[in-house]
Amino acid sequence: MASKVTSTQVGIIGAGPAGLLLSHLLHREGIDSVVLEARDRAYVEQRVRAGVCEQPTVDLLDEIGLGTRLHAEGLPHHGFSLRFDGEDHRIALTELTGKSITVYGQQEIVKDLIAAHAGPPIEFEVSDVDVHGIASDTPSVTYTDSGGHRRELRCEVIAGCDGFHGISRRAIPAGALRTFDREYPFAWLGVLAKTPPSDEELIYTHHERGFALHSMRSPEITRLYLQVAPDEDIAAWPDERIFAELRARLATTGGFALHEGPVLDKGVTPMRSFVAEPMRYGSLFLAGDAAHIVPPTGAKGMNLAVADVVVLSRALSDLLRHNDSAGVESYSDTCLRRVWRAEHFSWFMTSMLHVDPAADGFGRRLQLSQLRYTASSTAAATSLAENYVGLPFT
């Protein structure tokens, strides 16, 4: 049966923060787009992902009128603790940089973007997605809609915002991309617990038993992480074992009371660094996790996706409204400068805080030396804080 053909200016694959924000920004510029998503709406709005919004991300959401719920429900943070040697060493973000971060779950931003979505409805539950003609100026996307009907979407540009495992990056011909990849010898076991946070701020902990992170999602929900092996079996971690290990790693010489409660969700997340260059091939532009992955230690993943689509929306506006191609020609280089800075920062935080099972005593002492220097040097703490609160989008 023949496909039903529709047209738009920008076809967007993926309804995560990158795809939804790009559609929103383009609509503000009078540019039409269609968003295609493999999952259903309920799944997209509930999947637990990142929770730290950099200052530039918060400023952008305010600028486009989507910051109301973030400020009502999000948790602003003006510092966080590096915990090692059984002691806390506060990194005073606002004092050092004049900026802060806000804890507000990625799924909440997705909900806000879906609620504010204008233009053609988001097409959820699509399958068999494929892209065509990306080396030309008449690309298209074919897919099967939620009703089982075959569709063809003709567009001027395709934005691949479908994550690391999506089809967009794989559609680029072999040899056209250079990829840089690093896998780490550990993973994070993350839990969402129904209990008030045990501290007002995030706690990044270096401990001989492995890294631990105390975070939060709301005044009633705590987010906690433990360093584990990449092949760790989640079934081997009942709730009581998780909290016992958290108590051991988060302990301080002055005593630290960890609040415990029912575990609402838990899972193991492998850690890797990945970058694909360039972030464009012909009429196909990659954004967010489709182009790059960072280990979560630096809290950069979602914020990098936001930065990408800010640059991309401006470039596409210039191209489609004014026939000015300068922005799209420089898109990849502009984004990659910020991407590689975030990659380095995320690697730095990961290397400083985690226990490498293959490291010798020399390596362990280097970690402690870096931690002690960062905690005692205003210059080192300022550099960390500046990267953590977020560099400018361009």
Residues involved in catalysis: 77, 204, 296, 300, 388
Q: Per this entry, what is the length of the chain?
A: 394
Distance from first CA to last CA of the chain, Å, rounded? 46
Q: Amino acid identity, residue 68?
A: T
Angle at 50 between CA 32 and CA 81, to 5 degrees: 140
Dihedral sign for Cα 142, 146, 150, 151, please. Answer: negative
Distance, CA of 172 to CA of 3 (rounded, Å): 24
Contact between 99 and 55 (Cβ < 8 Å): yes
Distance, CA of 383 to CA of 97 (rounded, Å): 9
Distance, CA of 334 to CA of 324 (rounded, Å): 16
Q: Is 152 helix (H, G, I), strand (E, B) or coil?
A: strand
Distance, CA of 371 to CA of 381 (rounded, Å): 10
Q: Amino acid identity, residue 304?
A: L
Strands 140-144 and 263-277: unpaired
